Amino acid sequence: MIKVSIPQGIEVNALDRELQEAHGRLKNKTGAGKEFTGWVTLPGDYDRDEFERIQNAARKIRGESDVLVVIGIGGSYLGPRAVIELIKSSFYNSLPRNNPEIYYVGNNLSGDYIKNIISIIGDRDFSVNVISKSGTTTEPAVAFRIFRRLLVGKYGADGAAGRIYATTDKARGTLKTLSDAMGYEAFAVPDDIGGRFSALSAVGLLPIATAGIDIQELMGGAAEMMDLCSHSATPENPAFAYAAARSLLYRGGNKIEVLAYWDPDFMFMAEWWKQLYGESEGKGGKGLYPASVSFTADLHSMGQYLQDGERVLIETMLIAGNCSHSGITVNNDPEDSDGLNFLAGKTVDEINTAALQGTFLAHTDGKLPVLTVDAGGKTARDIGRLIYFFEYACGLSGYMLEVNPFDQPGVEAYKKNMFALLGKPGYEAEGGMLRARL
């Protein structure tokens, strides 16, 4: 199970009443943004028929494609990528494996990026999972036009339709309409779950299953954490402890929360976490700024700042137990020219643990409040628990911050400007005014 430690002197019990109130709002769906709290019960009430269709689709993709192209942005990009890289490896595409390579497009507007993915696919067989609630978000819609054309060119209209999997609104919208017309297999982006809370819906599950990860285990872990949050709503519960500690530290004047991880495979889990907290809490002039560091690499980079820079930050160390069993050890060197023979016979992961403990103490001595979140391991079950843990803590924390943790009004501002500058019909007047300001 997940374990959380919080800095000495942080009295999470002081927030017990606030935690209970926030918990009640989540559980009873009475808080701001309540129409987007479907994720709270998802690990229990998800659609079992669709779940089986996801597993069948993953099997079909594995059988007929060398590459899966995942088209999505925001949670539709970060959720699946985070889970696949954490459980399988950030080198997933390069390692020997039985499952398709997976590439993510539609998450940026770089022509070089798209061109490179097309070049990497080459003449190999591929399928596409396009993930978009509406079907009109610019980045994924542009990418889908391009990759759909490639599929049709390669396999014909019918062949292409059999290789396109659409994760979209269950009833309406551009992509749903197109799926129905063309016969794409479709999965639902639930109406009551926003993008950053969607990793355990079809949004995340189809790519994750295609990578060969046991999604039953993933959901099982999430269900365990859901039970714990629903039945043990006390500051001893790790989600409550984490929510309370970071809330108190924010109220104490800190501005930044740095998520520190100890294996490069966690990079996209940190990106997913940044979206979850940044987009849920960063509104109304409030919120801890979520940042991340990759240790030990960044101990030789941002380490200086963390040890001795502005004291406006807190550090959350994200670890996964002593789960690494790579067996890579330091060999003895008869000449000991580098003086490392005191490490001979130790595994690299044991040294990593000592680095972690040493850093914990050094940063604490440097007046940096350090929390730890230990997932206990990095199996699918562990990561299912971890995802739900961070989600529930985010809901609690957002309500205690007195914001609506489930909307994202600020994301629209750049889009409107972009449409106007691109001459989208209906935006002509704004376009001229904006161009004058550039």
Q: Is 1 in the site for its own copies (CB under 8 A)?
A: no
Footprint on residues 277-336 left by its own copies (CB under 8 A) = 278-279, 281-287, 289-291, 294-313, 324-328, 330-331, 333
Residue 323: CB minimum distance to its own copies, A: 9
Size of the site for its own copies (CB under 8 A): 131
Residue 85: CB minimum distance to its own copies, A: 12
For its own copies, the binding residue among 142, 162, 170, 224 (CB under 8 A) is 142
Residue 29, φ and ψ in degrees, nearest 5: 55, 55
Q: Is 9 in the site for its own copies (CB under 8 A)?
A: no
Nearer to its own copies, 163 or 274 (CB): 274
Nearer to its own copies, 63 or 409 (CB): 409
Nearer to its own copies, 14 or 354 (CB): 354
Nearer to its own copies, 43 or 74 (CB): 74
Q: Is 120 in the site for its own copies (CB under 8 A)?
A: yes
- Of 47-55, 137-145, 210-218, 390-398, which part binds its own copies (CB under 8 A)? 137-145
Footprint on residues 16-55 left by its own copies (CB under 8 A) = none
Report the 10 Å Cβ neighbour count for 236: 11
Residue 380: CB minimum distance to its own copies, A: 16
- Of 51-59, 233-241, 388-396, 406-414, which part binds its own copies (CB under 8 A)? 406-414
Nearer to its own copies, 51 or 305 (CB): 305
Among residues 3, 115, 286, 415, the one annotated as catalytic is 415
Footprint on residues 166-185 left by its own copies (CB under 8 A) = 174-175, 177-178
Nearer to its own copies, 25 or 283 (CB): 283
Footprint on residues 149-168 left by its own copies (CB under 8 A) = 149
Question: In the annotation, is 367 catalytic?
Answer: no
Among residues 139, 271, 279, 281, the one annotated as catalytic is 279
Q: Which residues contact 338 (CB under 8 A, 6 or more apart)?
A: none
Q: Is 338 in the site for its own copies (CB under 8 A)?
A: yes
Question: In the annotation, is 363 catalytic?
Answer: no
Question: In the annotation, is 346 catalytic?
Answer: no
Q: Which residues contact 3 (CB under 8 A, 6 or more apart)?
A: 238, 372, 373, 374, 376
For its own copies, the binding residue among 9, 63, 334, 423 (CB under 8 A) is 423
Q: Is 230 in the site for its own copies (CB under 8 A)?
A: no
Residue 319: CB minimum distance to its own copies, A: 12
Point out the residues that are catalytic: 279, 300, 415
